[in-house]
Structure 1
Amino acid sequence: MTPDTVAHRNRELIVHGLAEFARGNIGVLRELLHEDFVEHSPGNPSGRDAFLAFIATAPVARARLDIKRVIADDDYAVAHYHMIDASDGRGSAVIDVWRLVDGRITEHWDVVQPVPEPASTPHGMF
Protein backbone atom coordinates (compact mmCIF):
# COMPACT_ATOMS: atom_id res chain seq x y z
CA MET A 1 0.00 0.00 0.00
CA THR A 2 1.68 3.19 -1.17
CA PRO A 3 0.83 6.71 0.07
CA ASP A 4 -0.92 7.57 -3.20
CA THR A 5 -3.47 4.73 -3.04
CA VAL A 6 -7.07 5.16 -1.91
CA ALA A 7 -6.55 2.32 0.59
CA HIS A 8 -3.60 4.13 2.19
CA ARG A 9 -5.54 7.41 2.38
CA ASN A 10 -8.53 5.62 3.94
CA ARG A 11 -6.30 3.99 6.53
CA GLU A 12 -4.61 7.27 7.40
CA LEU A 13 -7.97 9.05 7.65
CA ILE A 14 -9.25 6.46 10.14
CA VAL A 15 -6.01 6.38 12.17
CA HIS A 16 -6.04 10.18 12.42
CA GLY A 17 -9.77 10.29 13.23
CA LEU A 18 -9.50 7.67 15.97
CA ALA A 19 -6.47 9.38 17.50
CA GLU A 20 -8.24 12.75 17.56
CA PHE A 21 -11.44 11.23 18.94
CA ALA A 22 -9.44 9.44 21.65
CA ARG A 23 -7.94 12.83 22.63
CA GLY A 24 -11.47 14.15 23.19
CA ASN A 25 -11.86 15.92 19.86
CA ILE A 26 -15.38 14.76 18.98
CA GLY A 27 -15.56 17.56 16.41
CA VAL A 28 -13.24 15.56 14.13
CA LEU A 29 -16.29 13.43 13.31
CA ARG A 30 -17.97 16.44 11.66
CA GLU A 31 -15.12 16.44 9.14
CA LEU A 32 -15.11 12.66 8.65
CA LEU A 33 -18.80 11.75 8.47
CA HIS A 34 -20.89 12.32 5.39
CA GLU A 35 -24.03 14.32 6.25
CA ASP A 36 -26.18 11.33 5.17
CA PHE A 37 -24.10 8.94 7.30
CA VAL A 38 -25.80 5.56 7.90
CA GLU A 39 -25.32 3.84 11.28
CA HIS A 40 -25.97 0.09 11.48
CA SER A 41 -25.48 -0.39 15.25
CA PRO A 42 -28.75 -0.97 17.11
CA GLY A 43 -29.91 2.07 19.06
CA ASN A 44 -27.47 4.49 17.41
CA PRO A 45 -28.95 7.16 15.11
CA SER A 46 -28.08 7.72 11.47
CA GLY A 47 -27.35 11.15 10.00
CA ARG A 48 -24.20 13.10 10.86
CA ASP A 49 -25.79 15.63 13.21
CA ALA A 50 -27.92 13.10 15.10
CA PHE A 51 -24.96 10.75 15.43
CA LEU A 52 -22.67 13.54 16.70
CA ALA A 53 -25.22 14.49 19.38
CA PHE A 54 -25.51 10.83 20.39
CA ILE A 55 -21.80 9.98 20.45
CA ALA A 56 -20.90 13.04 22.53
CA THR A 57 -22.71 11.47 25.50
CA ALA A 58 -21.87 7.81 24.78
CA PRO A 59 -19.38 5.92 26.99
CA VAL A 60 -16.87 5.69 24.12
CA ALA A 61 -16.44 9.49 24.23
CA ARG A 62 -14.97 9.17 27.75
CA ALA A 63 -13.03 5.93 27.22
CA ARG A 64 -9.38 5.27 26.49
CA LEU A 65 -8.91 3.68 23.06
CA ASP A 66 -5.89 1.45 22.56
CA ILE A 67 -5.76 0.81 18.82
CA LYS A 68 -4.38 -2.60 17.95
CA ARG A 69 -4.75 -2.62 14.15
CA VAL A 70 -6.34 -0.74 11.26
CA ILE A 71 -6.88 -2.44 7.90
CA ALA A 72 -8.18 -0.63 4.81
CA ASP A 73 -8.97 -1.06 1.15
CA ASP A 74 -10.50 1.25 -1.45
CA ASP A 75 -13.99 1.18 0.10
CA TYR A 76 -13.68 0.05 3.73
CA ALA A 77 -11.55 0.51 6.82
CA VAL A 78 -11.61 -1.77 9.85
CA ALA A 79 -10.20 -0.98 13.30
CA HIS A 80 -9.66 -3.41 16.17
CA TYR A 81 -9.09 -1.75 19.52
CA HIS A 82 -9.35 -2.03 23.28
CA MET A 83 -11.88 0.42 24.74
CA ILE A 84 -11.43 1.02 28.46
CA ASP A 85 -13.68 3.29 30.48
CA ALA A 86 -13.24 4.28 34.12
CA SER A 87 -16.00 1.97 35.34
CA ASP A 88 -14.56 -1.27 33.91
CA GLY A 89 -10.86 -2.04 34.15
CA ARG A 90 -10.94 -4.86 31.59
CA GLY A 91 -12.91 -2.87 29.02
CA SER A 92 -14.22 -4.15 25.71
CA ALA A 93 -12.75 -5.47 22.49
CA VAL A 94 -14.19 -3.44 19.61
CA ILE A 95 -14.16 -3.90 15.87
CA ASP A 96 -15.45 -0.98 13.80
CA VAL A 97 -16.10 -1.24 10.08
CA TRP A 98 -16.52 1.94 8.05
CA ARG A 99 -17.46 2.37 4.39
CA LEU A 100 -15.77 5.39 2.85
CA VAL A 101 -16.63 7.32 -0.30
CA ASP A 102 -14.40 10.18 -1.47
CA GLY A 103 -12.68 10.46 1.91
CA ARG A 104 -15.90 10.59 3.97
CA ILE A 105 -17.39 7.89 6.18
CA THR A 106 -20.78 6.94 4.77
CA GLU A 107 -21.64 3.83 6.82
CA HIS A 108 -20.60 2.20 10.09
CA TRP A 109 -20.94 -1.24 11.69
CA ASP A 110 -19.41 -2.47 14.94
CA VAL A 111 -19.01 -5.45 17.23
CA VAL A 112 -18.32 -4.87 20.92
CA GLN A 113 -17.34 -7.70 23.29
CA PRO A 114 -16.54 -7.32 27.00
CA VAL A 115 -13.02 -8.51 27.78
CA PRO A 116 -13.36 -11.51 30.14
CA GLU A 117 -11.04 -12.65 32.91
CA PRO A 118 -7.60 -13.56 31.49
CA ALA A 119 -8.09 -17.24 32.35
CA SER A 120 -11.04 -17.32 29.92
CA THR A 121 -8.89 -16.24 26.98
CA PRO A 122 -5.49 -17.95 27.22
CA HIS A 123 -4.45 -16.47 23.87
CA GLY A 124 -5.68 -12.97 24.68
CA MET A 125 -8.31 -10.80 23.04
CA PHE A 126 -5.86 -8.72 21.03
Structure 2
Amino acid sequence: MTTQNKSIVQRALAGLIDRGDTDTLASFLSEDFIHHRPDSTTSTKAEWLAAVRAALGPTAGMQVEILHVLADSDHVVVHSRRQLPDGGPEIVVVDVLRIADGAIAEVWEIIEPVAHAATNLAWWEAARQ
Protein backbone atom coordinates (compact mmCIF):
# COMPACT_ATOMS: atom_id res chain seq x y z
CA MET A 1 0.00 0.00 0.00
CA THR A 2 2.81 2.45 0.84
CA THR A 3 4.38 2.15 -2.62
CA GLN A 4 0.99 2.53 -4.32
CA ASN A 5 0.15 5.61 -2.29
CA LYS A 6 3.50 7.21 -3.06
CA SER A 7 2.90 6.51 -6.76
CA ILE A 8 -0.55 8.14 -6.61
CA VAL A 9 0.95 11.34 -5.22
CA GLN A 10 3.87 11.35 -7.68
CA ARG A 11 1.51 10.91 -10.64
CA ALA A 12 -0.82 13.62 -9.33
CA LEU A 13 2.06 16.09 -9.00
CA ALA A 14 4.00 15.24 -12.17
CA GLY A 15 1.91 17.21 -14.63
CA LEU A 16 1.23 19.97 -12.13
CA ILE A 17 4.89 20.71 -11.52
CA ASP A 18 5.97 20.37 -15.15
CA ARG A 19 3.03 21.97 -16.97
CA GLY A 20 0.63 23.49 -14.43
CA ASP A 21 -1.80 20.64 -15.22
CA THR A 22 -4.44 20.90 -12.51
CA ASP A 23 -6.90 18.61 -14.32
CA THR A 24 -4.67 15.58 -13.72
CA LEU A 25 -4.24 16.60 -10.09
CA ALA A 26 -8.03 16.94 -9.74
CA SER A 27 -8.53 13.39 -11.02
CA PHE A 28 -6.50 12.06 -8.06
CA LEU A 29 -8.52 13.93 -5.39
CA SER A 30 -11.48 12.36 -3.61
CA GLU A 31 -14.84 14.10 -3.95
CA ASP A 32 -14.82 14.99 -0.22
CA PHE A 33 -11.18 16.17 -0.30
CA ILE A 34 -10.14 18.63 2.44
CA HIS A 35 -7.08 20.90 2.48
CA HIS A 36 -5.82 22.07 5.90
CA ARG A 37 -3.77 25.27 6.31
CA PRO A 38 -1.41 26.10 9.20
CA ASP A 39 -3.89 28.72 10.48
CA SER A 40 -6.54 25.99 11.00
CA THR A 41 -8.62 27.02 7.99
CA THR A 42 -9.75 24.38 5.53
CA SER A 43 -10.82 24.40 1.92
CA THR A 44 -12.85 22.07 -0.26
CA LYS A 45 -11.66 20.34 -3.40
CA ALA A 46 -13.03 23.12 -5.64
CA GLU A 47 -11.61 25.92 -3.45
CA TRP A 48 -8.18 24.32 -3.23
CA LEU A 49 -7.99 23.55 -6.95
CA ALA A 50 -8.83 27.19 -7.72
CA ALA A 51 -5.98 28.33 -5.46
CA VAL A 52 -3.59 25.81 -7.04
CA ARG A 53 -4.58 26.98 -10.53
CA ALA A 54 -3.88 30.57 -9.54
CA ALA A 55 -0.47 29.70 -8.07
CA LEU A 56 0.77 26.96 -10.40
CA GLY A 57 -1.17 27.34 -13.61
CA PRO A 58 0.72 27.64 -16.91
CA THR A 59 1.04 31.44 -16.62
CA ALA A 60 1.28 31.78 -12.83
CA GLY A 61 5.06 31.61 -12.57
CA MET A 62 5.65 29.76 -9.30
CA GLN A 63 8.62 27.40 -9.54
CA VAL A 64 8.48 24.17 -7.50
CA GLU A 65 11.29 21.72 -6.75
CA ILE A 66 10.28 18.45 -5.08
CA LEU A 67 13.04 17.50 -2.63
CA HIS A 68 11.58 14.38 -0.95
CA VAL A 69 8.55 12.11 -1.24
CA LEU A 70 8.18 9.74 1.70
CA ALA A 71 5.37 7.29 2.37
CA ASP A 72 4.14 5.34 5.37
CA SER A 73 0.89 3.37 5.16
CA ASP A 74 -1.89 5.75 4.08
CA HIS A 75 0.19 8.94 4.43
CA VAL A 76 2.62 10.48 1.95
CA VAL A 77 4.86 13.43 2.81
CA VAL A 78 6.11 15.82 0.12
CA HIS A 79 8.93 18.24 0.98
CA SER A 80 9.38 20.99 -1.61
CA ARG A 81 11.09 24.30 -2.18
CA ARG A 82 9.09 26.95 -4.04
CA GLN A 83 10.01 30.28 -5.57
CA LEU A 84 7.04 32.60 -5.62
CA PRO A 85 6.56 34.62 -8.81
CA ASP A 86 7.42 38.27 -9.38
CA GLY A 87 10.28 38.35 -6.90
CA GLY A 88 8.22 36.86 -4.07
CA PRO A 89 9.91 34.97 -1.28
CA GLU A 90 11.35 31.49 -1.51
CA ILE A 91 9.42 29.10 0.71
CA VAL A 92 9.85 25.54 1.94
CA VAL A 93 6.66 23.50 2.15
CA VAL A 94 5.86 20.16 3.74
CA ASP A 95 2.59 18.59 2.63
CA VAL A 96 1.21 15.57 4.47
CA LEU A 97 -1.31 13.75 2.27
CA ARG A 98 -3.72 11.05 3.40
CA ILE A 99 -4.72 8.51 0.78
CA ALA A 100 -8.07 6.69 1.04
CA ASP A 101 -9.54 4.29 -1.52
CA GLY A 102 -6.87 5.17 -4.10
CA ALA A 103 -7.44 8.94 -3.93
CA ILE A 104 -5.95 11.88 -2.06
CA ALA A 105 -8.47 12.56 0.70
CA GLU A 106 -6.71 15.21 2.81
CA VAL A 107 -3.66 17.44 2.72
CA TRP A 108 -2.06 19.29 5.63
CA GLU A 109 0.31 22.06 4.54
CA ILE A 110 3.19 23.58 6.52
CA ILE A 111 4.93 26.61 5.00
CA GLU A 112 8.07 28.45 6.06
CA PRO A 113 9.68 31.34 4.20
CA VAL A 114 13.36 30.48 3.79
CA ALA A 115 14.32 33.96 5.00
CA HIS A 116 12.60 33.25 8.35
CA ALA A 117 14.33 29.93 9.03
CA ALA A 118 17.09 31.34 11.26
CA THR A 119 14.64 33.37 13.34
CA ASN A 120 12.29 30.42 13.67
CA LEU A 121 15.16 28.30 15.02
CA ALA A 122 16.10 30.80 17.74
CA TRP A 123 14.03 28.91 20.34
CA TRP A 124 15.95 25.72 19.50
CA GLU A 125 19.35 27.35 19.99
CA ALA A 126 18.26 28.88 23.31
CA ALA A 127 16.97 25.50 24.55
CA ARG A 128 20.29 23.80 23.74
CA GLN A 129 22.32 26.24 25.89
Query: Which of 42, 45, 59 in structure 1 is aligned with 2:43?
Result: 45
What secondary structure is seen at the aligned counterpart in 1 of 2:115? Answer: coil
Q: What residue identity is the alignment partner of 1:76?
A: H
Alignment correspondent of 2:79 = 80
TM-score (norm 2): 0.75
What secondary structure is seen at the aligned counterpart in 2 of 1:45? Answer: strand
Alignment correspondent of 2:126 = none
Alignment correspondent of 1:13 = 8
How far apart in 1 are the matches of 2:116 and 2:36?
A: 29
Is the 2:78–2:95 contact (alpha carbons within 8 Å) kept by the matching residues of 1? yes
What secondary structure is seen at the aligned counterpart in 1 of 2:73? Answer: coil
Task: Go from structure 1 to structure 2 and tell me whether the alpha carbon gap of 1:40 and 1:110 turns closer, same or farther (over 3 Å shift).
Answer: same
Q: What residue identity is the alignment partner of 2:13?
A: L
Task: Go from structure 1 to structure 2 and tell me whether the alpha carbon gap of 1:52 and 1:86 turns closer, same or farther (over 3 Å shift).
Answer: closer
The unaligned stretches of length 5 or more in structure 2 are 120-129
Is the 2:36–2:108 contact (alpha carbons within 8 Å) kept by the matching residues of 1? yes
Deviation at 1:11, TM superposition (A): 0.8
The unaligned stretches of length 5 or more in structure 1 are 1-5, 122-126
How far apart in 2 are the matches of 1:64 and 1:108?
A: 20
Identity of aligned residues (%): 29
Is the 2:6–2:70 contact (alpha carbons within 8 Å) kept by the matching residues of 1? yes
How far apart in 2 are the matches of 1:67 and 1:54?
A: 19
Find the structure with the greater CA-based Rg: 2
How far apart in 2 are the matches of 1:112 and 1:81?
A: 10
TM-score (norm 1): 0.77
Alignment correspondent of 1:116 = 115
How far apart in 2 are the matches of 1:33 and 1:105?
A: 5
Task: Go from structure 1 to structure 2 and tell me whether the alpha carbon gap of 1:53 and 1:117 turns closer, same or farther (over 3 Å shift).
Answer: closer
| Higher normalized helix content (fraction of residues) | 2
Aligned: 1:56 with 2:24 = no
Q: What residue identity is the alignment partner of 2:79?
A: H
How many pairs are equivalent?
A: 113
Deviation at 1:77, TM superposition (A): 0.4
